[in-house]
Amino acid sequence: MRCRTMIMFLFPLLLAAPLAAGADEAPAVRSLEDGATSPPARIDDLSWLAGRWVGEGLGGAAEDVIAPASGGQMMGMFRHSKADGSLNFYEFYLFAEQAGSLTVRLKHFSPMLSGWEEKDAFVEFPLVALEERAAYFDGLTYVLGENGRLTVGVHLGEGRNAFFHYSRAK
């Protein structure tokens, strides 16, 4: 499933969610042009993402835990809590080598672990571009700032992007 369909899963959660303030605080969220292929990349190119990240986004608290590479993949877990502290949703995802490049595959879950996607389905974000401290997937961006803070941007459709701002947990 392409990333553009993710909006149908997240839309009810996002209607009232505040988006990032200024454009200078938010990195670009890029798209892979139709017919374009992802650039060459290896999972080790994302080693800077490994760790536990805590922060905020979508009007609540966010936490990402990204494991170091193993077997050509890096697994990740995401937890989002509402402003009142109640759980909103989870994601399980992986960065994986595919056809000489990278992709992100992601599944959403309710707080009770009911899957949002069909049993064998997932949302996929192929790589658009890779820089020293940034990875741009089709609708999903990771940028490590000079200050050591991680910003993750996700395209929600209709010109809307949401941003998560993280610090590395101690």
List the one residue out of 60, 63, 122, 61 whose CA is nearest residue 95.
122
For the segment 112-120, the average pLDDT, to the nearest whole number, is 93
Helix (H, G, I), strand (E, B) or coil at 24: helix
**CA–CA distance, 117 with 108 (Å, rounded to integer):** 7
6 pLDDT above the threshold of 90: no
Six-digit token pair at 146? 């000079």
**Which residues on neighbouring strands pair with residue 125, listed in sequence order?**
104
What integer pLDDT is reported at residue 25 of this predicted model? 61
**CA–CA distance, 121 with 100 (Å, rounded to integer):** 22
117 pLDDT above the threshold of 90: yes
List the one residue out of 44, 47, 18 whose CA is nearest residue 165.
18
Domain locations in the chain as residue ranges: 3-168
Q: Which CATH architecture has domain 3-168?
A: Beta Barrel (2.40)
121 pLDDT above the threshold of 80: yes
7 pLDDT above the threshold of 80: no
**CA–CA distance, 18 with 5 (Å, rounded to integer):** 21
4 pLDDT above the threshold of 60: no
What integer pLDDT is reported at residue 157 of this predicted model? 86
For the segment 96-125, the average pLDDT, to the nearest whole number, is 95
Higher pLDDT, 11 or 167: 167
For the segment 100-108, the average pLDDT, to the nearest whole number, is 97
Express each pLDDT in 148-158 by its tens digit: 999 999 998 88
For the segment 80-91, the average pLDDT, to the nearest whole number, is 96
For the segment 35-56, the average pLDDT, to the nearest whole number, is 96
| pTM for the predicted model, two decimal places | 0.85
**CA–CA distance, 155 with 162 (Å, rounded to integer):** 7
Phi-psi region of 17 (alpha: psi -120 to 50; beta: other; left: phi over 0): beta
For the segment 7-29, the average pLDDT, to the nearest whole number, is 50
